[in-house]
Structure 1
Amino acid sequence: MSAYRIAHVTVHDPEAYAGYQALAPKAFAKFGAEFLARGGAAETLEGPALQRHVVIRFPDLVRARACFHSPEYQEARARRNGACEAHVVIVEGVSEPSS
Protein backbone atom coordinates (compact mmCIF):
# COMPACT_ATOMS: atom_id res chain seq x y z
CA MET A 1 0.00 0.00 0.00
CA SER A 2 1.36 3.43 -0.91
CA ALA A 3 2.54 5.87 1.73
CA TYR A 4 2.78 9.63 1.51
CA ARG A 5 5.28 12.06 2.90
CA ILE A 6 3.71 15.47 3.44
CA ALA A 7 5.92 18.45 4.20
CA HIS A 8 5.02 22.06 4.96
CA VAL A 9 8.07 24.32 4.87
CA THR A 10 8.89 27.98 5.34
CA VAL A 11 12.37 28.84 4.09
CA HIS A 12 14.31 31.51 6.02
CA ASP A 13 17.69 31.09 4.27
CA PRO A 14 17.29 30.20 0.57
CA GLU A 15 21.04 29.81 0.02
CA ALA A 16 21.41 27.21 2.78
CA TYR A 17 18.17 25.50 1.73
CA ALA A 18 19.57 25.12 -1.79
CA GLY A 19 22.12 22.68 -0.35
CA TYR A 20 19.24 20.48 0.80
CA GLN A 21 17.54 20.74 -2.58
CA ALA A 22 20.72 19.65 -4.34
CA LEU A 23 21.09 16.45 -2.27
CA ALA A 24 17.59 15.29 -1.31
CA PRO A 25 16.46 14.06 -4.77
CA LYS A 26 19.10 11.30 -4.67
CA ALA A 27 17.55 9.85 -1.52
CA PHE A 28 14.01 10.12 -2.87
CA ALA A 29 14.97 8.36 -6.12
CA LYS A 30 16.72 5.55 -4.23
CA PHE A 31 13.48 4.69 -2.40
CA GLY A 32 11.09 4.93 -5.35
CA ALA A 33 9.51 8.27 -4.43
CA GLU A 34 7.24 10.16 -6.80
CA PHE A 35 6.53 13.87 -6.30
CA LEU A 36 2.82 14.66 -6.51
CA ALA A 37 3.05 18.30 -5.40
CA ARG A 38 6.13 20.46 -4.87
CA GLY A 39 5.76 24.16 -4.18
CA GLY A 40 3.37 25.88 -6.56
CA ALA A 41 0.25 27.86 -5.80
CA ALA A 42 -1.31 27.08 -2.42
CA GLU A 43 -3.98 28.48 -0.15
CA THR A 44 -3.92 28.03 3.64
CA LEU A 45 -7.45 27.30 4.83
CA GLU A 46 -6.64 26.56 8.49
CA GLY A 47 -3.58 26.78 10.71
CA PRO A 48 -0.34 28.68 10.18
CA ALA A 49 0.56 29.76 6.67
CA LEU A 50 3.79 28.14 5.49
CA GLN A 51 5.47 28.81 2.12
CA ARG A 52 6.02 25.43 0.50
CA HIS A 53 3.91 22.30 0.49
CA VAL A 54 5.26 18.99 -0.79
CA VAL A 55 3.49 15.64 -1.24
CA ILE A 56 5.61 12.61 -2.15
CA ARG A 57 4.27 9.11 -2.80
CA PHE A 58 6.34 6.06 -1.82
CA PRO A 59 5.58 2.45 -2.71
CA ASP A 60 4.97 1.69 0.99
CA LEU A 61 5.45 2.94 4.55
CA VAL A 62 8.65 0.90 5.00
CA ARG A 63 10.37 2.73 2.13
CA ALA A 64 9.05 6.11 3.25
CA ARG A 65 10.61 5.56 6.70
CA ALA A 66 13.81 4.12 5.23
CA CYS A 67 14.22 7.16 2.99
CA PHE A 68 13.94 9.58 5.91
CA HIS A 69 16.46 7.63 8.00
CA SER A 70 18.87 6.94 5.13
CA PRO A 71 22.38 8.42 5.18
CA GLU A 72 21.61 10.19 1.88
CA TYR A 73 18.57 11.98 3.27
CA GLN A 74 20.15 12.75 6.64
CA GLU A 75 23.06 14.44 4.83
CA ALA A 76 20.60 16.55 2.84
CA ARG A 77 18.59 17.33 5.98
CA ALA A 78 21.72 18.54 7.76
CA ARG A 79 22.20 21.10 4.94
CA ARG A 80 18.83 22.71 5.65
CA ASN A 81 19.39 22.86 9.42
CA GLY A 82 18.46 26.37 10.54
CA ALA A 83 17.46 27.36 7.00
CA CYS A 84 13.77 26.59 7.36
CA GLU A 85 10.85 25.67 9.55
CA ALA A 86 9.54 22.27 8.47
CA HIS A 87 6.64 20.06 9.50
CA VAL A 88 7.00 16.60 7.95
CA VAL A 89 4.78 13.53 8.34
CA ILE A 90 4.44 10.18 6.64
CA VAL A 91 1.06 8.52 6.38
CA GLU A 92 -0.12 5.25 4.94
CA GLY A 93 -2.54 5.52 2.03
CA VAL A 94 -5.95 3.90 1.94
CA SER A 95 -6.52 0.59 0.21
CA GLU A 96 -8.58 0.50 -2.95
CA PRO A 97 -12.05 -1.03 -2.53
CA SER A 98 -12.49 -4.47 -4.08
CA SER A 99 -14.61 -4.64 -7.23
Structure 2
Amino acid sequence: MPKAYWIAHVTVTDAEAYADYTKAAPAAFQKYGARFLARGGKTEHLEGTAHPRNVVIEFDTMTQALACYHSPEYQQAKSHRAHAAFADILIVEGM
Protein backbone atom coordinates (compact mmCIF):
# COMPACT_ATOMS: atom_id res chain seq x y z
CA MET A 1 0.00 0.00 0.00
CA PRO A 2 1.50 3.40 -0.94
CA LYS A 3 2.34 6.04 1.60
CA ALA A 4 0.55 9.38 1.64
CA TYR A 5 1.88 12.90 2.03
CA TRP A 6 0.10 15.80 3.68
CA ILE A 7 1.38 18.98 2.07
CA ALA A 8 0.59 22.35 3.62
CA HIS A 9 1.46 25.81 2.34
CA VAL A 10 0.83 28.36 5.08
CA THR A 11 0.94 32.10 5.57
CA VAL A 12 0.71 32.97 9.27
CA THR A 13 -1.14 36.23 9.89
CA ASP A 14 -1.22 36.13 13.71
CA ALA A 15 1.78 34.37 15.25
CA GLU A 16 0.39 34.46 18.78
CA ALA A 17 -2.88 32.79 17.77
CA TYR A 18 -1.02 30.35 15.49
CA ALA A 19 0.92 29.16 18.53
CA ASP A 20 -2.34 27.71 19.88
CA TYR A 21 -2.60 25.63 16.69
CA THR A 22 0.99 24.40 16.99
CA LYS A 23 0.34 23.34 20.58
CA ALA A 24 -2.86 21.43 19.74
CA ALA A 25 -2.02 19.77 16.39
CA PRO A 26 0.71 17.35 17.56
CA ALA A 27 -1.86 15.19 19.39
CA ALA A 28 -3.50 14.27 16.08
CA PHE A 29 -0.24 13.81 14.23
CA GLN A 30 1.13 11.51 16.92
CA LYS A 31 -2.10 9.49 17.11
CA TYR A 32 -1.98 8.75 13.36
CA GLY A 33 1.73 8.04 13.02
CA ALA A 34 2.73 11.20 11.15
CA ARG A 35 6.38 11.79 10.29
CA PHE A 36 7.45 15.33 9.45
CA LEU A 37 9.73 15.42 6.40
CA ALA A 38 9.85 19.20 5.97
CA ARG A 39 8.58 21.98 8.20
CA GLY A 40 9.24 25.66 7.68
CA GLY A 41 12.74 25.29 6.24
CA LYS A 42 14.39 27.18 3.43
CA THR A 43 12.42 27.20 0.17
CA GLU A 44 12.96 28.37 -3.37
CA HIS A 45 9.65 29.39 -4.89
CA LEU A 46 9.54 28.58 -8.60
CA GLU A 47 5.88 28.81 -9.72
CA GLY A 48 2.39 29.54 -8.43
CA THR A 49 1.40 31.27 -5.21
CA ALA A 50 4.12 31.44 -2.58
CA HIS A 51 3.59 30.87 1.14
CA PRO A 52 6.41 31.46 3.61
CA ARG A 53 5.77 28.22 5.55
CA ASN A 54 5.70 24.83 3.82
CA VAL A 55 5.21 21.47 5.50
CA VAL A 56 5.39 17.87 4.24
CA ILE A 57 4.14 15.09 6.52
CA GLU A 58 4.37 11.39 5.68
CA PHE A 59 1.74 8.82 6.67
CA ASP A 60 1.80 5.07 6.10
CA THR A 61 -1.45 5.22 4.09
CA MET A 62 -3.92 7.65 2.55
CA THR A 63 -6.53 6.32 4.98
CA GLN A 64 -4.35 7.31 7.96
CA ALA A 65 -3.66 10.76 6.54
CA LEU A 66 -7.33 11.46 5.90
CA ALA A 67 -8.32 10.07 9.31
CA CYS A 68 -5.82 12.42 10.91
CA TYR A 69 -7.17 15.45 9.07
CA HIS A 70 -10.80 14.61 9.88
CA SER A 71 -10.10 13.56 13.49
CA PRO A 72 -11.63 15.51 16.38
CA GLU A 73 -8.10 16.25 17.59
CA TYR A 74 -7.03 17.89 14.34
CA GLN A 75 -10.32 19.69 13.79
CA GLN A 76 -9.96 21.22 17.25
CA ALA A 77 -6.41 22.36 16.39
CA LYS A 78 -7.60 23.65 13.01
CA SER A 79 -10.14 25.89 14.74
CA HIS A 80 -7.17 27.81 16.23
CA ARG A 81 -5.51 28.13 12.84
CA ALA A 82 -8.61 29.45 11.09
CA HIS A 83 -8.13 33.00 12.40
CA ALA A 84 -4.34 32.93 12.50
CA ALA A 85 -3.26 31.81 9.01
CA PHE A 86 -4.17 31.18 5.40
CA ALA A 87 -3.41 27.61 4.37
CA ASP A 88 -3.55 25.42 1.29
CA ILE A 89 -3.54 21.79 2.39
CA LEU A 90 -3.66 18.64 0.30
CA ILE A 91 -2.98 14.99 0.80
CA VAL A 92 -1.40 13.08 -2.06
CA GLU A 93 -0.89 9.33 -2.38
CA GLY A 94 2.67 8.25 -3.02
CA MET A 95 3.84 5.85 -5.69
Q: Same fold (TM over 0.5)?
A: yes
Q: Percent identity?
A: 57
Q: What does 1:1-99 align with in structure 2 at a 5 Å threshold?
A: 1-94=2-95
Provide the TM-score with structure 1 as the length reference.
0.93
CA–CA distance in structure 2, aligned partners of residues 83 and 16 of structure 1: 5
CA–CA distance in structure 1, aligned partners of residues 65 and 56 of structure 2: 12
Counterpart position of 1:97: none
SS of the residue aligned with 1:48? coil
Deviations 1:58-95 (A, max 9, x none): 0100000000000000000001112111000001000x
TM superposition outliers: structure 1 runs of 4+ over 2 Å: none
Deviations 1:34-64 (A, max 9, x none): 0000001111100122110000000100000
Unaligned residue ranges in structure 1 (runs of 5+): 95-99
CA–CA distance in structure 2, aligned partners of residues 37 and 74 of structure 1: 22
RMSD value over aligned CA atoms?
0.6
CA–CA distance in structure 1, aligned partners of residues 38 and 66 of structure 2: 19
